[in-house]
Amino acid sequence: MKFMDVQAVDGVIRMAKIAKGADYFGTDISEDTAFALMDRYLELGGNTIDTARIYGKAGPEPESPALSEGVVGRWMKSRGNRSSIVLVTKGAHPDRAALTKSRICKEVVETELCTSLEQLGVDHVDVYFLHRDNPDMPAGEIIDLMDEQVRAGKIRALGVSNWTVSRINEANAYAKANGRTPITISQIQWGLAWSDPAGWNDPTIVCMNDTEYAGYLANKIPVMGFAPQGGGYFTKMLAGQPVRERFRLRYDNPVNRARLERVKEVCEATGQSAAAIALAFLTSNPVESAAVIGCSTVAQLEDSMSSCDLTLDAETVSALLR
């Protein structure tokens, strides 16, 4: 397993470059299966569990309970392994029926963070992400709000999810000038299979593009890429199997059609699966990055984790993008 460093207020967090995502835990993925997935993930060398206050929602209504954090918390308690886990969660996601209406405010952040800690059965998380930005709110105000939670000992490292690089830089300039906690990690949609917010039907999602990529090369902030395997797009296409409709709408575009042949060539040259190559594209990238994998079965997890030590050279990474 390869690792990357994330700066925390009390030192450096060593994060596995393949993280196990916990969406759908407690709903589509049963608690027993979730336990088996996390157990096997650790056996294969991983150490990072990525959940969120909104993950594992039992229904579409805003008041529906979110079950994922509770599943992760019960697993850590039953295994007695909290000290060996890099625990990541997120909060202040907008209601799904009103995605452009931000929920970032002191009351929501404090309430959701406290609920997350209670569900997880811990007194702090290693990395806490704001799940979306509020572009209408000065970045400095958001930094002030989150700095309070860090200083209260609830958060070791501050991250943001679905923020642009320009907003991160604005926030960190304020943090530096005012002695506040900076943002030291980002999470956006990034994978070898390219998409954009329109493909997700969500204008609040930030997908990696040339502008964002150049920004991360410059500011050196590590990135966790979610949906790094593109819903199995390349795996399905190479096998001649149908791609699920929502993933077809998201990923079946001229960019990925052109990349398909490159993926096939690299798979043949390395003897690795398309799923493994997609992850190695991130874990070998010049931008320091980790891939957040979903995987609903142990077999899928084992296939994905087969790339955990695979390093693609710079020429191969570049060739995959042609």
* Element counts in the chain: helices (H) and strands (E): 13, 10
What average pLDDT score do residues 29-56 get? 98
Tens digit of pLDDT for each residue in 215-255?
999 999 999 999 999 999 999 999 999 999 999 999 999 99
Question: Would you place residue 307 in the very low, low, confident or very high pLDDT band (cuts 50, 70, 90)?
Answer: confident
Percent of the chain with pLDDT over 90: 94
| Predicted local distance difference test score (pLDDT) of residue 18 | 98
Q: Is the pLDDT of residue 264 over 90?
A: yes
Q: Is residue 279 pLDDT above 90, yes or no?
A: yes
> Is a pLDDT exceeding 80 seen at residue 62?
no
Per-residue confidence (pLDDT) for residue 59, from 0 to 100 = 78
Residue 306 reports pLDDT greater than 90: no
Question: Is 60's pLDDT higher than 80?
Answer: no
User: For 107-142, what is each residue's pLDDT tens digit?
Assistant: 999 999 999 999 999 999 999 999 999 999 999 999
* The pLDDT of residue 310 is above 90: yes
Q: Is the dihedral of CA 162, 164, 169, 170 positive or negative?
A: negative
Residue 175 and residue 182 in contact, taking contact as beta carbons nearer than 8 Å:
yes
pLDDT, position 97: 87
Q: Which two tokens stand for residue 241?
A: 């199997």
322: pLDDT strictly greater than 80: no
User: Does residue 63 register a pLDDT over 80?
Assistant: no
Q: Round the average pLDDT of the chain to a whole number and report it.
A: 96
Report the residue count for the chain. Answer: 322
Q: Could you read off the pLDDT of 142-180 as tens digits, one per residue? A: 999 999 999 999 999 999 999 999 999 999 999 999 999
Q: pLDDT by residue (tens digit) across 10-35?
A: 999 999 999 999 999 999 999 999 99
Per-residue pLDDT at 61:
75
Which CATH superfamily, name and number, covers 3-230? Answer: NADP-dependent oxidoreductase domain (3.20.20.100)
Percent of the chain with pLDDT over 70: 100
| Amino acid in the structure at residue 293 | I
DSSP structural state of residue 123: S
Q: Which residues pair with 18 in a beta bridge?
A: 291
What gap in Å lies between CA 44 and CA 236, rounded to an integer? 25
pLDDT of residue 283: 97
Delimit the domains of the chain by residue range: 3-230
Q: Is 10:184 a contact under the CB 8 Å cutoff?
A: no
